[in-house]
Chains A and B, each alone.
Chain A
Amino acid sequence: DIQMTQSPSSLPASVGDRVTITCRASQGITNSLAWYQQKPGKAPKLLLYAASRLETGVPSRFSGSGSGTDYILTITSLQPEDFATYYCQQHYSSPLTFGGGTKVEIK
């Protein structure tokens, strides 16, 4: 199984900050990497897929990059509605696996 390691697990930040979240796969996943946002009590929402492709309707302040085993989610100019938990997920092979999550919280 492919293990997904996210860091940090917690990220204190302020409105307007640029934040980056890292996801590392235990083996190469050829950009088969998605990012989800989850707010308390809600279902996750797909933000990006194929490492860098923005889902329709997702603000352009979200972006993704990376290749091989290492991927990054960047949020430029953090907005109040962006405080949430973010998960990476590989869709390269079954079983599908998620990272442990990164909680972006108010500093």
Chain B
Amino acid sequence: EVQLLESGGDLVQPGGSLRLSCAASGFTFSLYAMSWVRQAPGKGLEWVSGISGSGVNTYYADSVKGRFTISRDKSRNTLYLQMNSLRAEDTATYYCAKDRSINFFGLFDPWGQGTLVTVSS
């Protein structure tokens, strides 16, 4: 069974940094692209970033480009999201999601349970 377990969410001040992790199990991690998708409280879904199975290709939403960095560690079966220069509008539950192929395709199944990031002073 595929399992995705996010961690690292916290309360952080504006301008601060945070690193999210997503531990994957139940599938061959390096054979699938992965993404982060966020959901602000009471709002809809927003794709944040994606990475190919090899880790070579990365993709970002304009809203986070230059501030967030996605990466993956094959040896640890873990996906990361380094978030810098955090803003109040980054407050959201962050989900990691498995893609359908090794290349970034954009079909998310399944998703983790999410981790909450709150940016506030």
Evaluate contact between B50 and A98: CB separation under 8 angstroms.
no
The count of chain A contact residues (Cβ–Cβ below 8 Å) is: 23
Q: 8 Å CB contacts to A: which residues of B61-82? A: 61-62
Query: Which residues of the other chain, A, contact B50 by a CB distance below 8 angstroms?
Result: 94, 96
Within 8 A of A (CB), among B22-67: 35, 44-47, 50, 59-62
A44-B111, A94-B59 given; A87·B106 CB < 8 A: no
Contact of A98 with B47 in the complex, beta carbons under 8 Å: yes
| B13 CB-CB contact with A under 8 Å | no
Closest B-chain residue to A4, C-beta based? B44
Known: A94-B104, A96-B50. A89 touches B110 (CB 8 A): no
Q: In the complex, A89 Cα to B45 Cα: how many Å?
A: 9
Cβ of A43: which chain B residues have Cβ within 8 Å of it? Answer: 95, 110-114
Complex contacts, B61 vs chain A, CB 8 Å: 95
Report the minimum CB–CB distance from A43 to chain B (whole Å): 4
- Tell whether B11 is near chain A: CB-to-CB under 8 Å: no
Compute how far the CA of A100 lies from the CA of B39 in the bound complex, rounded to whole angstroms.
11
Q: Residue of A at shortest CB range from B61? A: A95
Does B113 contact A46, Cβ atoms closer than 8 Å? no
Q: Which of B45, B62, B100, B106 contacts A44 (CB 8 A)?
A: B45
Query: Does B44 lie within 8 Å of A98, measured CB to CB?
Result: yes
Contact indicator B114/A98 (Cβ below 8 Å): no
Known: A43-B111, A95-B62. A101 touches B44 (CB 8 A): yes
Contact A100 B104 (CB under 8 A): no
Binding site for B on A (CB under 8 A): 1, 32, 34, 36, 38, 43-46, 49, 55, 87, 89-91, 94-101
Q: A38-B45, A89-B108, A98-B47 are in contact. List 13 more A-B contacts (CB 8 A).
A: A34-B106, A43-B95, A43-B110, A46-B109, A46-B110, A55-B109, A89-B47, A91-B107, A94-B104, A95-B47, A95-B60, A95-B62, A98-B45
